[in-house]
A = this chain, B = another copy of it.
Amino acid sequence: MYKERPMTPRGCLTLLPLGAEKKRWIEDRLLDVFKRWGFQEIVTPIFEYLDILSLGIGSELIEKGYKLTDRSTGRLMILRPDITPQVARIAATALSSIRPLRLCYALNVFRYEEEYSKQREIHQVGTELIGLKEPEADAEIIAMAVEAIKTLQIKHCSVVVRQTGYIKGFFDGQGYDTGTVNALKKAIEKRDSSRIQELAGMKAISKKQGKRFLEIMELFGGEEVFKKAERLVESRVSEDALRNLRDVYGFLKKYGLSDFISFDLGELMGFDYHTGVSFAIFIKDFGYEIGGGGRYDQLLERFGSQCPATGFAFDIERVMEAMQNQGTGGDIGRGDFIIIDFTKDKTKAIELTKTLREKGYNVTRDIIRRNLDKSISYAKEVGIKKAIVLGSRGLKDADALIIGIETGQKEKVELRKIMERY
């Protein structure tokens, strides 16, 4: 055995019992919400030709992608590093006749990360709404995200909504060179106000423009942000973006969600394909966003079919971590009963087990021969709640012993009465 070297590559997900159950519990609940909202599941291929998928992903994701050669064609393949460009490809080709398209998925993506601590396999549960430019569509996506979070019983969630068009309006027609644009964007992304002042000092941008960007970076908060943002508007692009955001918010109020929503107009999105309204989902006292998404109106045309679209995804590992932090989900995946059977003829144990399973309980049969104490500590280790013992010493044939695994409490019950109780 190779004990001196790690047995598995770093950053790959292994989920042991209870962890895997939690993952599935989360996925099931999210997909259930999406399906009740009329979204239909799809499964995208795990391998894509690099040249095809590159049409829809930025250079950063291409760099992070795991590549290998297709043995039959010799073409380079990439393990999907992102689902949205795949969905865009499929929506623009195989599903191009159906508009709007409401799709959802629970799939993994692969991104090589330098840091040992970072996951290289990420599980996402997401949705895409393709073919609608209406603000009502943005609202549908955000409202669905909030409902999804609620079904996970996660508390203190909030959604920060952005409209990238607003801040873009302050770049357009200013004649900035590429270096200045990049420096500005970087400064804004990092909320680095001293760097903005520096750029103004260097005359890369005017003092007035510097002041403007500092003001824009402060544009976060509730509904009151709209008034402040309006006063700063200098271009049609910013004006349209603001009106669009107001319209989306109007629908969100109809969904009764104003308490969950705040705005941030000084944010530039990370992925290169986003346009218009985007959003991120945060949990109080949890450092990362657990999900987010937004509009990508220019992505489908890269695959041959111009069409507006929006969507979002949850990062399942982060959702699991957030639940853990809030101390919820501890009971997910635990077994209900273990049947410990000391009789020789197994018929009764098999019957009891069958009946309980038919009622939906998780029931383990303790086939191995060992003493009661060992079986009980085994049940504790694998997370089973109760033991039902048959044929142990001093127990009549018609009786059974029910033992609470955590409490240790014992109770003698007639075997046939167990069926009435559970």
Residues of A within 8 A of B (CB): 1-2, 6-10, 12-21, 23-24, 28, 31, 35-38, 40-49, 51-52, 66-68, 70-73, 75, 77, 89-90, 93-95, 97-100, 102-103, 105, 108, 110, 112, 114, 116, 121, 131-132, 134, 136-137, 140, 251, 254-255, 303-304, 333, 335, 338, 346-347, 350, 357, 360-365, 367-368, 378, 381-384
Given contacts A41-B20, A94-B16, contact A35 B362 (CB under 8 A): yes
CA distance A371 to B382 in the complex (A): 58
Q: How many angstroms from the CA of A138 to the CA of B100 in the assembled complex?
A: 50
Given A38-B338, A43-B13, are A350 and B254 neighbors across the interface (CB < 8 Å)?
yes
Contact B38 A364 (CB under 8 A): yes
Q: Are B367 and A100 in contact (CB under 8 A)?
A: yes
Which residues of B lie under 8 Å from residue A383 when comparing CB positions?
A: 40
What B residues does A97 contact at CB under 8 A?
Answer: 381
User: How far is it, in angstroms, between the C-alpha of A121 and the C-alpha of B73 when the chains are bound?
Assistant: 17
User: How far, in angstroms, from A365 to B102 measured CA to CA in the complex?
Assistant: 10
A45 and B362 contacting across the interface, CB-CB below 8 Å: no
Q: Known contacts A71-B112, A100-B367, A100-B368: does B38 contact A121 (CB below 8 Å)?
A: no
Find chain B residues with CB under 8 A from A16 CB: 42, 90, 94-95
Say yes or no: B67 contacts A40, CB within 8 Å: no
CB-based contact A98/B132 at 8 Å: no
**Is the pair B23, A43 in contact by a Cβ cutoff of 8 Å?**
yes
Give, as a whole number of angstroms, the nearest-CB distance from A18 to chain B.
Answer: 7
Which of B40, B46, B68 has a CB less than 8 Å from the CB of A12? B46
Return 19 A-B CB contacts under 8 Å, by A number: A1-B304, A7-B89, A9-B45, A9-B49, A9-B75, A14-B45, A15-B43, A16-B95, A20-B40, A21-B41, A37-B357, A37-B362, A46-B121, A100-B368, A136-B346, A136-B365, A136-B367, A254-B347, A254-B350
A36 touches B140 (CB 8 A): no
B103 touching A36, Cβ below 8 Å:
no
User: Bound state CA distance, A23 and B67, in angstroms?
Assistant: 27
Taking the closest CB of chain B, its distance from the CB of A380, in whole angstroms, is 11
Report yes or no: A98 in contact with B45, Cβ–Cβ below 8 A: no
Q: Does the CB pair B70–A68 fall under 8 Å? A: no
Q: Which B residues touch A37, using CB under 8 A?
A: 357, 362-365
B36 touches A98 (CB 8 A): no
CB contacts (< 8 Å) of A52 on chain B: these are: 2, 7-8
Closest to A94 in B: B16
Cα–Cα, bound, A14→B98 (Å): 17
Tell me the bound Cα distance from A311 to B77 in angstroms: 33
